[in-house]
Amino acid sequence: MTTPARDREQTLVEAFVRLADTLVTDYDVIDLFHGLCADCVTLLDADAAGLLLTDQRGSLQLVSASNEQAHLVELFQLQADQGPCLDAFRTGHQVRADDLATEDRWPRFTSRARESGFAAVHALPMRLRGEVVGALNLFHRQHHVMDEADLGVGQALADVATIAILTDRSSRQRELLTEQLQAALTSRVIIEQAKGVLAERGRIGLDEAFARMRSYARGHQVRLADVARDVVEGDIDTAALFG
């Protein structure tokens, strides 16, 4: 699906206007990340996108993905050990793997990615001054070379994600990046726990559980992170999510 240049430019402008609007309000970092991942898919013709953050213990963790299917989540997680995201994180440079069929840098990651039907993958570092705090990961089902313009858009989206962590209002100590990263990761842990609670209560799959939470959050104009916390702490009647 290629969009005519002017349409694309329009979409791009709209996306960044929306992101700027969000950044000056009392936003939730996890909600903003989900919007960003969806933007990556639309703007860059990607089939899936995810954001990984450093856990400050030398590893990377998934905080947000354009969809939460198990095979995709696993592909993000695998990169704690090897993969384009880990390389982007360690080097601070963009990592391109246009064609996984001929890729030999990350055997384990590549074979799982191909099994899941992906043909190309890109990773863009989330940089902050001298530090790299994570990476944006883009997957394509077809062999795909991202041109400089696309990489520029992707990098701009990754930079917005970095700024979002820094200016998160719930963060009381803005100077402490470590603390801000930890808070984003904790939000993610609560979402995973809530997925488990709903999967058990509703006898549904984990990706379905996530979809229910997200649609509830949208329908009720509440934050995804708050819905997740209420599910885990029993402060919400989970039947409302299965309605």
* Interacting residue ranges for other proteins, rule: CB under 8 A: 38, 41-42, 55-59, 61-62, 67-70, 73, 77, 80, 171-173, 176, 178-179, 182-183, 186, 189-190, 192-201, 203-211, 214, 228-229, 232-234
Shortest spacing between CB 145 and other proteins, in angstroms: 22
Shortest spacing between CB 143 and other proteins, in angstroms: 21
Distance from C-alpha of 218 to C-alpha of 24, rounded to nearest angstrom: 20
Shortest spacing between CB 131 and other proteins, in angstroms: 9
Identity of the residue, 29 or 103, whose beta carbon is nearer to other proteins in the bound complex: 29
Residue 138: count of CB within 10 angstroms of its CB: 30
Identity of the residue, 67 or 82, whose beta carbon is nearer to other proteins in the bound complex: 67
C-alpha distance from residue 50 to each of 31, 138, 158, 172, 231 (Å): 13, 7, 10, 26, 24
Identity of the residue, 114 or 218, whose beta carbon is nearer to other proteins in the bound complex: 218
Identity of the residue, 19 or 197, whose beta carbon is nearer to other proteins in the bound complex: 197
Shortest spacing between CB 71 and other proteins, in angstroms: 9
Residue 148: count of CB within 10 angstroms of its CB: 7
Identity of the residue, 113 or 225, whose beta carbon is nearer to other proteins in the bound complex: 225
Identity of the residue, 94 or 231, whose beta carbon is nearer to other proteins in the bound complex: 231
Shortest spacing between CB 243 and other proteins, in angstroms: 17
What's CA 101's distance to the chain center, in Å? 25
Shortest spacing between CB 110 and other proteins, in angstroms: 21
Neighbouring-strand partners of residue 138: 49, 122
User: Can you say whether the dihedral through the CA atoms of 25, 27, 33, 36 is positive or negative?
Assistant: negative
Apex CA 50: angle with CA 201 and CA 120, to 5°?
A: 125
